[in-house]
Structure 1
Amino acid sequence: MDQRTLDRVTRYVVALAEFDRNARAAMCGDVSNEESAVRVYLEHHLHEPDLIRPVLGLASGSVVSVDAFVGALRLRAVAFYSGTEISEHEAMFDYSIDPDGTQYLLAVRFDTHGRVDRIDIES
């Protein structure tokens, strides 16, 4: 990684909490989209009540709100793309509801301007 690339990705490290908040806000907003990765992820895991409700601290049969769900996601990894890897994405934040209970992640991608560009499900 050259110095210019290091300077660009340093902003994610220095302001990690801010980028995390931006990613979570984007995930909450994504639920209303017709092809929402967050909604698919949430609905998939709601079929596993023994996984979701304990993570959220809810009694069985409780309604799981999008805000509670997104708030309970754990930031598992942050990846940076440099050199020839840079296309439209510069950083990717991976979130999981329970890393030991599911193989699926929500991947929030940031563009070269530091804005959330895309949210996908990955395994």
Structure 2
Amino acid sequence: MTIEHDYFGLLGSDDEGEIYWSDTAELGDQSVDIDVTSPDEASVAAESLDIAAGMINAIEELDSQVRESLVADLSADGSMTSQYIEQTLDDMDPGAVDDAIIWDSGDRQIDFLRSIQLQRITFMPHNNGVDERFALMEYSISPDDTDYVLMVTIDVHGDTLAVAMES
């Protein structure tokens, strides 16, 4: 079976009922990988696909909203955002850090967050509840210079649910 959607077209499924779609979207002067995946085709509502399509079409606003939540996360003691920044700065060559941080406001953490690049968004349209993982956004300061990425989980409203660091 397949699901047909105005934005995504035909979302193919395999014998197990899983669906997958992949493309890229433009964010400023960079390309962002976009994936839509669900383990169960029957649990994907058309409204969830509409929300995902809307987020892709408004990727700049979504990215800004997530970055604002990361800035807010900096104020929490031991925040994952702060740990990601510290770990990445320790891991990277200082010259690569200087090349990657394209802002210079005097606040190193804010400049770092303004300089990270959105690499991928994975939508999970079967999770359409307010407190469920609807999308996972993957950020990196310099994908060629560090293996550390900042993973931000958002709900159907684009609100940040969790921030994690992976390598």
What's the TM-score, normalizing by structure 2? Answer: 0.63
The structure with higher relative contact order (CA 8 Å, sep 6+) is: 1
Is contact 1:109–1:117 with CA below 8 Å preserved after alignment?
A: yes
1:53 maps to which of 98, 106, 110: 98
The alignment-based identity, stated in percent, is 27
For 2:63, the aligned partner's letter is D
2:154 maps to which of 107, 110, 114: 110
Distance 1:46 1:6 in 2: 37
The Cα of 1:12 is off from its aligned counterpart by 1.0
For 2:74, the aligned partner's letter is V
Larger Rg belongs to: 2
Greater fraction of residues in strand: 2
Distance 1:10 1:42 in 2: 31
Partner of 1:121: 165
Partner-residue secondary structure (3-state), 1:27? helix
The Cα of 1:98 is off from its aligned counterpart by 0.4
Partner of 2:108: 65
Does 2:83 align with 1:40? yes
Partner-residue secondary structure (3-state), 1:100? coil
Is contact 2:88–2:148 with CA below 8 Å preserved after alignment?
A: no
Unmatched 5+ residue regions in structure 1? none
Greater fraction of residues in helix: 1
The Cα of 1:46 is off from its aligned counterpart by 2.1
Partner of 1:91: 135
Does 2:123 align with 1:80? yes
Does 2:4 align with 1:4? no
Partner of 1:13: 56
Does 2:68 align with 1:25? yes
